[in-house]
Amino acid sequence: MLEKKLLTKRVGIVNPLSIDDYIKQDGYKQFKKALKMERISIIEEVEKSKLRGRAGAGFPAAIKMMAFAKEEAEHKYMICNADEGEPGNFKDRYLMENDPHSVLEGMLITAYATRATKAYIYIRGEYNKALSIMKWAVDEAKEKGFIGKNILGSDYDFDMEVRSGAGAYVVGEEFALIESIEGKSGRTRVKPPFPTEKGLFGYPTLINNVETFCNYPVIIEIGGKAFAKIGTASSTGTKLISLSGNVNQKGVYEIPFGVTIREVIETLGKGVPENRKIKMIQLGGACGPIIPEYMLDMKIDFDRFEDFESKTGAGAIIVMDERVDVFEVLHRIVNFFGHESCGRCTPCREGHPQLEILVKRFLNHEATSKDLLSLESLARVMHQTSLCGLGQSSPISIISTLGYFRDEYHDRIEFVGKV
């Protein structure tokens, strides 16, 4: 079997609206185990596991945990970033809608290990079903004594609250998310300081996404060393993949790191409809690179994907067959990110309208050699100088196609020799 179900092993077995179902399937068992462990021992197991964040950048989870645990403050906050706004990603929604208590258990283990006092689960505004289920799950957990005062007879107090976003892509960025929870406009901050030092309401804050939190019960159950044996040396454990586009069987799949993109598409996705030829694949969602078919045998691995500035953690694979026009795709991407820009920094605010103008010229076969030079220069400047991840990552699709599909740009220019 290509899939290895660790995080999704209860999906289809438990009723997401029943905490009793979850408990019957050994739910909250690992949290109870963690409550009997030394706090530092929990963090050490995470360190042994070599777990990396599953949101995008793949930052080592133990380093973030340790930094947060060392902070001394009256309030220490945790945020579960469930604002899954990246087009092409839907794995976090899948976990929340099908096994919400696994998310809560992972958060509780992390909170106890780091002495957090309260957590917020910030859910994308369009995720109405996930929002309702997570609120229900939190209420159930409170009734059972897993959240609140003196949890399960211990001296540990911890509260949890569910918040809803309003549909802004930019609040997926950690500081914009903090600003939104504080009741401000979702705009990023200049850093340092980082959230683990000064985050929500000025207090130390640990932020992870849904999938990252769901890994903690697995690590406590099997141990960090056993977890590290799954996957590859640089990318341990399993990865949830959101597979979409021109494939026969779209969906969320859990695989060990090291599986190739081709295996995911052909084995799990059942290939392309009508056996059409794959033209390109976008990795990580709309902000990720677009690569050609000949690179499908690349293994899904943090280090390998970083060569292409792709968010492995996001886990999206969008398949596009031979009928797709690369410039139609780029135009939609640029238009989307231009709309979602918060407008705080100049490269992003002013750059996106210009990108859209230039891409549209290629789309309409009206581009010149000068347009190609301008497009490449602008995309790289935005990528290097924008304040937050939106402006930094939105031009990656353009930069990657300039490398892998440059002939298509040349085909839209009348005098190629001047380029």
Sequence ranges of the domains in the chain: 19-228, 238-321, 326-418
From residue 219, give the alpha-carbon distance in Å to each of 93, 211, 225, 298, 364: 22, 13, 9, 27, 52
**CA-wise closest residue to 239 among 310, 319, 161, 185:** 310
Comparison of pLDDT for 65 and 344, the residue scoring more: 65
pLDDT score recorded for residue 350: 95
Number of alpha carbons in the 13 Å side-chain half-sphere of residue 175: 17
Domain 326-418: CATH architecture, name and number where available: Up-down Bundle (1.20)
Strand ranges of the sheet holding 118-123, from the earlier edge strand across to the other edge = 159-164, 118-123, 77-82, 205-209
Q: Which CATH superfamily is domain 19-228 in?
A: NADH-ubiquinone oxidoreductase 51kDa subunit (3.40.50.11540)
Please state the rounded mean pLDDT for residues 268-274: 97
Both tokens of residue 203?
């207090």
> Does the pLDDT at position 144 exceed 90?
yes
d(CA 106, CA 82): 14
Comparison of pLDDT for 166 and 290, the residue scoring more: 290
Task: Name the packing angle between helices 326-340 and 346-363 (round to 10°).
Answer: 150
Comparison of pLDDT for 313 and 176, the residue scoring more: 176
pLDDT score recorded for residue 331: 97
Torsion angles phi and psi, residue 93, rounded to 5: -60, -40
pLDDT score recorded for residue 308: 62
pLDDT band at residue 310 using 50, 70 and 90 as cut-offs? low
- CATH T-level topology, domain 238-321: Ubiquitin-like (UB roll) (3.10.20)
**CA-wise closest residue to 81 among 184, 190, 199, 193:** 199
d(CA 305, CA 311): 7
Q: Are 113 and 70 in contact (CB under 8 A)?
A: no
pLDDT digits (tens, 9 = 90+) for 236-260: 999 999 999 999 999 999 999 999 9
pLDDT score recorded for residue 23: 98
pLDDT band at residue 409 using 50, 70 and 90 as cut-offs? very high
Phi/psi region, residue 309 (left: phi>0; alpha: psi -120 to 50; beta: rest), is: left
> Does the pLDDT at position 417 exceed 60?
no
Please state the rounded mean pLDDT for residues 88-112: 97
For the chain, give the mean pLDDT: 93
Please state the rounded mean pLDDT for residues 23-33: 98
pLDDT score recorded for residue 416: 45
